[in-house]
Structure formats: structure tokens, C-alpha cells
Amino acid sequence: MNPFRWSYRVSFLVGFLVCAGLLGFALYAEYGLGMTPCPLCVFQRIAFLFMALFFLVGGLHAPRGNGRWAYAGLVLVGAVGGIVTAGRHLWLQTLPADQVPSCGPGLGYMLDAFPFSRMLKLVFTGSGECAKVEPILGLPMPAWTLLWYVALAVLAIAAARRRSAVK
């Protein structure tokens, strides 16, 4: 089964299932493995949730022509947001111990206490819990999410580029 030959609908529904599976694994890692998510991890989950939503709607709607690019573009917005967040997260994990920012308040507190723009700045500045590396199959979690964002973006672009069989 070549994913580059799947129909638009199948590609987008598979993209939805992959995002749902990744979100399910994130919940398992949090509650089953005890890996507490940092604010950047939460933002990566939001990016997958955003992508899952538009993969599902695009797969159910399955438009023709340029309508495909609307859904693919929305999926790509989520993928780019996730790539930026995962890249920042990986960068924080590569910092020497003396350059790691101190631990900050939790995301819930920041949402309550600060305006949205200030909260975003604090999250992307990073904190000590974001620099903690917990590898899964040899790679840290943000590296895996980065790979999945790229793979899902390629899937969305390939599906949108494909011409429909019925004209």
C-alpha cells in the first residue's frame, strides 16, 4: 500500500487516525509512564489536535479541486506551529546545564495570571522542566513529534496535489 497513491479521503482519514494515535500515546506517556508534560509539550499536543481536526473534516468532506488546498493549508498551519514548538523544545534540551532557564510556573497559572502574548513569550522562553530529556526508543519526545509533523505535512501535501480519478 503506497500512501502516495491513496485517495484524498483515505489520506486525510489516515492522517486523522495518526494524530489521534499520537495524542493517545501522549496521554499514555503522561498517565501510564508518569511523564509530566511541560508547557511546550502541551503546545505540541494542541498542534496535533489542530491537525487532527482538519484532517478529519477534510477527510469527511473530501472536496475537489482547490478546496483540497484549503484543508491541506490548515493542516500545514498546525504542522508548522508544531515544528516550531518542537524545534524550540529540542534546542532547550541541548543547552548546557548552566544555561537552562530556571523552572517557571505551570501553564495553568500562566494562562490565569498573564495576558496571552506574555504567556506565549514565557512558554517559548522555556523553563527547566522543558530541558529534561526523557528518551523513548532512543529519541526525546520532541524529536519524535518533529518527525511526525513533517511526515503528516508531506501526507497532506501529497493528498492535495493528487488529481481526482473522476473528472
Q: pLDDT tens digit string along 12-44?
A: 999 999 999 999 999 999 999 888 888 888 889
Q: Cα separation of 62 and 58, whole Å?
A: 6
Confidence of residue 167 (pLDDT cuts 50, 70, 90): very low
Q: pLDDT tens digit string along 118-158?
A: 777 776 766 666 667 777 888 898 999 999 999 999 999 99
Full set of structural domains in the chain with CATH: 3-161 (1.20.1550.10)
Q: Cα separation of 154 and 133, whole Å?
A: 27
User: H helices of the chain, where?
Assistant: 8-31, 39-61, 67-94, 107-113, 116-125, 141-161
pTM here is 0.83
